[in-house]
C-alpha cells in the first residue's frame, strides 16, 4: 500500500505531495490532463521502470533537468532520482546500487485497456506478460532469463554461420548453456503457471458466464530441454538459422468454452480475459508475499457492460487507483471503505471533497 508520494519534475505533473486512501482512489480529468502520468508515477516509484516509456528520460518534465519521487508505504520509503546522466535509488534513505534490489519494494500491477493485446496479440506479448508476472515474485528468474537470451543470440548466430565455418563442438557448448538456463526457466514457469491458471479460472469464471481457461503450449517435450531433443532438430535449426525450441518459442493458449479465444471470443470477453489475467497476477503476488500489490486501473472497464463493471469492482482487492475521464457508477461496495477523489487539470492534482 502506498500512503503518500512527493514528486518533482515528473511528466506534466506540477510538483506536489499527495496522500492516498487505503482502499479506493479515484482519479478523474479530461483527456491529456495527466491521469495516466499519475498512475505511471506510482508504478515507477515501485518498479523503477515505466510500463509505457522505453526511454526513461521521457519521464522527466519538458524543460526540467531531473525528476525526483519520494514514496512511502506503511513501513518503507523509496526514493528515485533521475537526471539525463544517472539514476539514483534509495530505500529508507540508503542508496541501492542494483535495480533488482529496489524493484518490488512496493508491489504494483497495472491494468490498462492495452492489456487486450495480451490475448489478441503475438505470442511474444504473452511471453512478456508471463515473464514479468513471474520475475516480480521470483528474483532469480530475471537473471536466468537475461542469461538465456544472451546464449540464444549467440546460438542463433552460430547456427547461421554454421554452413561456412561451423564447428560442431561450439554448437554443443551452446546447447549445453541453452539447456542449463532454459530448464531453470522451465522449472519456475511450471510451478507458477499452476497458480496463475488456478486464479485466472476463478476470477474469469466469476465475471463471465462461459468457461475461461488457458493452457501452456510448449515447444519442448514436457517443459524440459535436453541434448537428444536438440540433436533431433539440429539439421532444421541450421537450415533455418534459428533456435526452434525453448522458453522463447512457447505460448499461452486462451480458450473460451474450449475454443480458441483469438477466433471465437467477443471483444468484451477478451477484455474480461485480460483483466482476469492481471488480477490473477496480483493474486499470485499476494499469496507469495502476503501483501496485496497496489492495483492501478487506467480506463479499465469502460467498455464493459454495467453488470460486468460491477463484478469487476467487486474483484478488486487491496489498494486501488482508478483513473477515468468519468467517475464510475456507484453502488454499495464503497460503503465503509476509505475513499479519496482526485481531480487533475493540466497536471495540477486536487483532492476533491468526498462524494
Partner 1 sequence: MRLLEELIEKLQWLPGIGRKSALRLAFYLQKMDEAKVKELAGTIVRARTSLKECIICHNLTETNPCPICTDKSRVQDRICVVEQPSDVMIIERIGEYRGLYHILHGVISPINNMGPKDLRIDSLLKRVSQNKIDEVIIATNPTTDGDITAVYIAKLLKPLNIKITRIARGLPTGSDIEFADKITIAKALEGRQEI
Ligand X SMILES: Nc1ncnc2c1ncn2[C@@H]1O[C@H](COP(=O)(O)OP(=O)(O)OP(=O)(O)O)[C@@H](O)[C@H]1O
Is 114:125 a contact under the CB 8 Å cutoff? Answer: no
Range in contact with Mg ion (rule: CB under 5 A) among 19-27, 31-39, 58-66, 126-134: 31-39
183 binds Mg ion (CB under 5 A): no
Provide CB contacts within 8 A for 221, sequence distance 6+: 229
**Binding residue for Mg ion (CB under 5 A) from 28, 36, 73, 229?**
36
* Interatomic CA distance for residues 296 and 36, integer angstroms: 10
CB of 110 to ligand X, least distance (A): 13
28 binds ligand X (CB under 6 A): no
37 binds Mg ion (CB under 5 A): no
DSSP-derived secondary structure for 60-74: BPTT-SEEEEEEEES
46-75 footprint of ligand X as x/- string (CB under 6 A): ------------x-xxx-------------
301 binds ligand X (CB under 6 A): no
Binding site for partner 1 (CB under 8 A): 143, 147, 150-151, 153-155, 157-158, 161, 165, 167, 169-170, 172-174, 176-177
* Interatomic CA distance for residues 201 and 198, integer angstroms: 5
Residues 142-181 that bind Mg ion (CB under 5 A): none
What is the grid cell recorded at 251? 505460448
12 binds ligand X (CB under 6 A): yes
Closer CB to ligand X, residue 1 or residue 14? Answer: 14
Closer CB to ligand X, residue 67 or residue 134? Answer: 67
Reduced to 3 states, what is the DSSP secondary structure of residue 253?
A: strand
Closer CB to partner 1, residue 183 or residue 255? Answer: 183
Q: Taking Cα atoms as reference points, which of 16, 27, 20 lies closest to residue 2?
A: 20
**Binding residue for ligand X (CB under 6 A) from 25, 37, 183, 255?**
37
* Interatomic CA distance for residues 242 and 187, integer angstroms: 23
* Interatomic CA distance for residues 293 and 295, integer angstroms: 6
Is 201:213 a contact under the CB 8 Å cutoff? Answer: yes
Range in contact with ligand X (rule: CB under 6 A) among 31-39, 97-105, 179-187, 247-255: 31-39
Closer CB to ligand X, residue 233 or residue 348? Answer: 348
* Interatomic CA distance for residues 166 and 186, integer angstroms: 29
Range in contact with ligand X (rule: CB under 6 A) among 34-42, 128-136, 151-159, 215-223: 34-42
Based on C-alpha coordinates, what's the Rg of the chain?
A: 22
Range in contact with ligand X (rule: CB under 6 A) among 25-33, 98-106, 152-160, 234-242: 25-33
Other beta carbons within 10 Å of 264 = 12
* Interatomic CA distance for residues 33 and 9, integer angstroms: 16
Closer CB to ligand X, residue 27 or residue 230? Answer: 27
Q: How far is CA 95 from the centre of its chain?
A: 25
Closer CB to partner 1, residue 31 or residue 85? Answer: 85
* Interatomic CA distance for residues 259 and 257, integer angstroms: 6
Closer CB to Mg ion, residue 62 or residue 307? Answer: 62
Instruction: Report the interface residues with Mg ion, using CB under 5 A.
Output: 35-36
Instruction: Report the interface residues with ligand X, using CB under 6 A.
Output: 11-12, 29, 31-37, 58, 60-62, 325
Amino acid at each position: 500500500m502506498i500512503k503518500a508520494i512527493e514528486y518533482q519534475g515528473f511528466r506534466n505533473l506540477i510538483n506536489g505531495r499527495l496522500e492516498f486512501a487505503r482502499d479506493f482512489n479515484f482519479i478523474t480529468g479530461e483527456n491529456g490532463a495527466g491521469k495516466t502520468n499519475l498512475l505511471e508515477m506510482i508504478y515507477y516509484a515501485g518498479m523503477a521502470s515505466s510500463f509505457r516509456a522505453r526511454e526513461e528520460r521521457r519521464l522527466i518534465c519538458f524543460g526540467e533537468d531531473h525528476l525526483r519521487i519520494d514514496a512511502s508505504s506503511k513501513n518503507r520509503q523509496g526514493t528515485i532520482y533521475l537526471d539525463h546522466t544517472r539514476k539514483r535509488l534509495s530505500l529508507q534513505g540508503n542508496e541501492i546500487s542494483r535495480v533488482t534490489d529496489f524493484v518490488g519494494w512496493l508491489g504494483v500491477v497495472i491494468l490498462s485497456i492495452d492489456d487486450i493485446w495480451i490475448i489478441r496479440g503475438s505470442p511474444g506479448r504473452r511471453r512478456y506478460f508471463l515473464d514479468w508476472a513471474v520475475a516480480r515474485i521470483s528474483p532469480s528468474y530475471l537473471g536466468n532469463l537475461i542469461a538465456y537470451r544472451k546464449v540464444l543470440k549467440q546460438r542463433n548466430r552460430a547456427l547461421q554461420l554454421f554452413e561456412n565455418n561451423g564447428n560442431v563442438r561450439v554448437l554443443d557448448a551452446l546447447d549445453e548453456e541453452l539447456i542449463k538456463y532454459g530448464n531453470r526457466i522451465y522449472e519456475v514457469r511450471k510451478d507458477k503457471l499452476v497458480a496463475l491458471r488456478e486464479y485466472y479460472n476463478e476470477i474469469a469464471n466469476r465475471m463471465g458466464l462461459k468457461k475461461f481457461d488457458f493452457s501452456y503450449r510448449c515447444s519442448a517435450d514436457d517443459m524440459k530441454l535436453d541434448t537428444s531433443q536438440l540433436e533431433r532438430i539440429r539439421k532444421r535449426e541450421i537450415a533455418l538459422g534459428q533456435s526452434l525450441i525453448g522458453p522463447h518459442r512457447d505460448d499461452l493458449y486462451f480458450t473460451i468454452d474450449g475454443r480458441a479465444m483469438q477466433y471465437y471470443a467477443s471483444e468484451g470477453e477478451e477484455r474480461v480475459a485480460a483483466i482476469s489475467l492481471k488480477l490473477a497476477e496480483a493474486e499470485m503476488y499476494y499469496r507469495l508475499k502476503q501483501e496485496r500489490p497496489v492495483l492501478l486501473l487506467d480506463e479499465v472497464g469502460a467498455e464493459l457492460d454495467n453488470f460486468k463493471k460491477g463484478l469487476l469492482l467487486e474483484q478488486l482487492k487491496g489498494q486501488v487507483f482508478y483513473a477515468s475521464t468519468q467517475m464510475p457508477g456507484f453502488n454499495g461496495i464503497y460503503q465503509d471503505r476509505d475513499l479519496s477523489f482526485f481531480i487533475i487539470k493540466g497536471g495540477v492534482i486536487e483532492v476533491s471533497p468526498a462524494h
